[in-house]
C-alpha cells in the first residue's frame, strides 16, 4: 500500500535522518529502487516528474507503483509528483492515486507562490495527500558570489517561516545552492548550511534537498570507461549530504546518479558485444548498477535499517 508522504517524513524529521526520493521513468528504475529498499531495509519515496508522466502515462506510473508496493508490503513507500508546475497538474496526480505532490511555483513572486501552494494544500489535504513546496531558485553558488546575489537566489529563512505557517505545506524544499543534473558546481562544491539550519529552526518541518546526486567516482569512471563524456561534472559530495541531513534535510532527491549508473552498463554491453540486441542483457546489469548506488545512498542518509 502506498503511504501518505508525511507518514514517512515525520518519522525522519523526528529522528533526524534522510529518505532517498528516487525518480523513475521505467520499470527498471522502479525495480532497482524497491530491490535496494528491501536490501537496506529502508523507507523510500518514488517520484515521477511531469516529463516522466508524459513518457509513461499517468495510469501506468500509478499502477506500476502500486504493483511494486504490493510485492514489497514491508517497505514504507510514498508515490510523489516531482516538480508539479500547476494546480491542475497536482490535482491530476492526486486523482490518479499519488500520495504526495510537489507544487513548484518557486519561479513566481512570494505571494503568488503562496497562493498557488495554499490551493494545492487545501485540495490535497482533503484527500489525505501530502504537499511539498519550494522557495528560492535551484542553482549552484560560486565562491565569489556577493551577499546580495546570494540572498536573491537562495531561500530567505524568514520568508520560509511565514510561508510554512500560512500555506500549511507538509515539507519544504529550500534552495541552498544545489542544482539539477551532472554539472552542479563550477569550482569547489559549496552549500549554505547555516541558511539551512535557520530554515529548519524557524519552520520545524521536514525539509527537501533537490539536485542531490553525488556522481560518485566509481559511477563517473564506469561511464567514462565506456567512452562516455562527463567533462566538468560535479555532484554533491557524500559528506555534504550528511551535513545536510544534520541540518534538517529529510527527503533527498536523486535522479542523475541512477541515469549515469544505468547508461554506463548499457554502453558497456553495447561496446563489448556489437551483435547483442536482447534488451534484458542491457538492462539487467543496469538495474544492478542503480541498486548499488541506491543502497549506498541509504546508508549515507541514515535511512538504512529503519524498517
**Which positions ≥6 away from 246 have C-beta within 8 Å?**
16
Q: Which of 82, 104, 192, 255 is catalytic?
A: 82
82 is catalytic: yes
Count H helices and E strands in the chain, helices first. 13, 8
- Number of residues in contact with Zn ion, rule: CB under 5 A? 2
Distance of CA 167 to the CA centre of its chain: 22
**Residues from 39 through 78 that contact ligand PH4 (CB under 6 A):** 49, 51-52
Distances (CA, A) of 97 to 23, 63, 76, 104, 132: 17, 9, 16, 19, 16
- Residues 270-289, mask of contacts with ligand PH4 (x by CB under 6 A): --------------------
Q: Which of 80, 210, 234, 291 binds Zn ion (CB under 5 A)?
A: 210
Cell of 25: 521513468
Tell me how far CA of residue 192 lies from CA of 197, 247, 284, in angstroms. 9, 10, 39
Helix (H, G, I), strand (E, B) or coil at 232: coil
Q: Any contact of residue 212 with ligand PH4 (CB under 6 A)?
A: yes
The distance of closest approach from Cβ of residue 211 to ligand PH4 in the complex, given in angstroms and rounded to an integer, is 4
164-203 residues near ligand PH4, rule: CB under 6 A: 180-181
**Does 83 sit near ligand PH4 (CB under 6 A)?**
yes
Q: Which is nearer to ligand PH4, 148 or 229 (CB)?
A: 229
CB 85, min distance to ligand PH4, A = 10
How many whole angstroms separate alpha carbon 145 and alpha carbon 138? 15
Q: Is 225 helix (H, G, I), strand (E, B) or coil?
A: coil
- Give the chain's length: 307
Instruction: Considering the complex, state which of residue 245 and residue 269 has its C-beta at the smaller distance from ligand PH4.
Output: 245
Q: Does 244 sit near ligand PH4 (CB under 6 A)? A: no
Q: What is the rounded distance in angstroms from the CA atom of residue 296 to the CA atom of residue 261? A: 13
Note whether 106 binds ligand PH4 by CB under 6 A: no
Q: How far is the CB of 218 from ligand PH4 (least distance, A)?
A: 17
* Lookup result for grid cell 501530502: 130
Query: What residues from 5 to 24 belong to the interface with ligand PH4 (CB under 6 A)?
Result: 23
* Cα distance between residue 176 and residue 193, in whole Å: 7
CB of 102 to ligand PH4, least distance (A): 8
Residues that bind ligand PH4 (CB under 6 A): 23, 49, 51-52, 82-83, 180-181, 210-213, 253-256
Catalytic residue positions?
82
Amino acid at each position: 500500500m502506498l503511504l501518505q508522504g508525511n507518514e514517512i517524513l515525520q518519522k525522519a524529521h523526528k529522528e533526524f535522518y534522510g529518505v532517498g526520493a528516487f525518480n523513475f521513468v521505467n520499470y527498471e528504475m522502479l525495480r532497482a529502487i524497491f530491490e535496494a529498499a528491501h536490501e537496506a531495509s529502508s523507507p523510500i519515496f518514488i517520484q515521477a516528474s511531469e516529463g516522466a508522466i508524459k513518457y509513461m502515462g499517468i495510469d501506468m506510473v500509478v499502477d506500476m507503483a502500486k504493483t511494486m508496493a504490493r510485492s514489497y508490503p514491508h517497505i514504507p513507500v510514498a508515490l510523489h509528483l516531482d516538480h508539479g508546475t500547476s494546480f491542475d497538474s497536482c490535482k491530476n496526480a492526486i486523482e490518479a492515486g499519488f500520495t504526495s505532490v510537489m507544487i513548484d511555483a518557486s519561479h513566481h513572486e512570494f505571494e503568488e507562490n503562496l497562493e498557488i501552494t495554499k490551493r494545492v494544500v487545501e485540495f490535497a489535504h482533503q484527500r489525505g495527500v501530502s504537499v511539498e513546496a519550494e522557495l528560492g531558485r535551484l542553482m549552484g553558488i560560486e565562491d565569489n558570489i556577493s551577499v546580495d546575489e546570494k540572498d536573491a537566489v537562495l531561500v530567505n529563512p524568514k520568508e520560509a517561516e511565514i510561508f510554512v505557517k500560512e500555506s500549511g505545506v507538509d515539507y519544504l524544499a529550500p534552495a541552498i545552492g544545489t542544482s539539477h543534473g551532472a554539472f552542479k558546481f563550477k569550482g569547489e562544491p559549496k552549500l549554505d548550511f547555516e541558511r539551512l539550519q535557520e530554515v529548519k529552526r524557524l519552520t520545524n518541518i521536514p525539509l527537501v534537498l533537490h539536485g542531490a546526486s553525488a556522481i560518485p567516482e566509481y559511477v563517473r569512471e564506469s561511464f567514462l570507461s565506456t567512452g562516455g563524456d562527463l567533462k566538468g561534472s560535479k555532484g554533491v559530495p557524500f559528506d555534504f549530504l550528511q551535513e545536510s541531513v544534520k541540518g534538517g534535510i529529510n527527503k533527498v532527491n536523486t535522479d542523475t546518479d541512477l541515469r549515469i549508473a544505468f547508461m554506463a552498463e548499457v554502453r558497456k554491453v553495447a561496446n563489448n558485444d556489437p551483435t547483442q540486441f536482447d534488451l534484458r542483457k542491457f538492462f539487467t546489469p543496469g538495474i544492478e548498477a542503480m541498486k548499488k548506488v541506491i543502497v549506498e545512498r541509504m546508508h549515507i542518509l541514515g535511512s538504512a535499517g529503519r524498517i
